[in-house]
Structure 1
């Protein structure tokens, strides 16, 4: 008759079998965690969350993971590390001096408790950086971090509340100032254009009279001395004076009309500056003048 094993022997055998199974179960659990970290890392990488993805690849590239998983995660870790953008943050006070006691957040999350000149890592994409210093107005800067961009410098100018430039960041980051109402022109400034046009008209009138009288005197002299066989050069000189007199006359008329129009129509649109333009075109034997403007 076969002897039956004692209860103590059965307990000892059960404990020995359980001890053998524990390492196998642990290894299976570790492998599953490695595969999970690998899958999560790839998903986070594709979503642009490179810093989180790098943490997963570090986990699945450890010595406790299967060799194949370790190899893949090591390659992905190297790629992601190269793609993570880095920024160098700095800030200056209202005198342009560097300050270090500045806290920076990114999209509302802490980024740097103090500015120490070291590069900080961010995920690629558009972010809002907020610079805050005790006793000063906070500054927000909007930046777009690019994959693989390293050591990009981002600086903010901080100022006391109420000081000129307070709350303004780097060029292009400040708020758009409110539109100011345009003041109505003073009576003196409203007369500048009419006076200028009147001066042009007076000057043109003087030139017209001078050139016209000179041309008439020269023509009378030629008729009395050499007509009809006068030198062509003398005749051309008289013609030039006549054309000049006609041009001066056209400019004078246009300027005078513009001055009158500005004085009459300047009240049509209160607060709007008047503008006028004259165009004089020389023509054979004279000239044509045109006046255009906005009043």
Structure 2
């Protein structure tokens, strides 16, 4: 129950979502969800041949480029989509299949629109429309590190989410939004049960993993952390189209194992299966 209460607060994403840079506008998830689109074939050696995009919610056409800019990105170009046609064909068709988009829905790109034509089974490109229609936006995704061992937080890919009583600074790699080392309990006294994390009004660094629990002479008793990888951050307060959560508890019999093992990192699974992956540290001390 302790962990579930903490996760429900973190995954609800109930407040302002912003890129933590002092000189940029702030993108609020009161107005938009954020989705990383990536056609993940689970072949890490092939990642260099594919690109990702970031899907934002509906925006006036005149504000679309600015919305991408708050993520340090720009509107994706028709040339980039055509160069990776199969990737975007499958991603946009999946959005329609999953109910995230309507058939033939238009998405704003650089100097025009793109849509998935379900009847003709192709992508359609159109000129920029007259007026200022509100349409979903496709931005570039320049965070190209694709593996858990190569993903590093930078000023260009970090993002801050207020959730519950604190703010959490995470980041993105090629395939997912990543929040690591989130405390779900206070450091317990030895031989006592843990209690819900009591910190409030803090900005917590969720870009690095927390310590493993004591085992085989290593680790720390301050080790009760969760890690979250997800391709999707919902619009604040929305309960529509939420993702399933895959909760991974490492093995090891209290003698080994950690929630941050690269071999069980949730980024690939979250991307491929379109779900939220949560891994946990736990211990006996």
Question: TM-score range with shorter-chain normalisation?
Answer: under 0.3
Return the structure number with greater relative CO, CA threshold 8 A, min gap 6: 2
Scaled by the length of structure 2, the TM-score of the pair is 0.18
Output the TM-score relative to the length of structure 1. 0.18
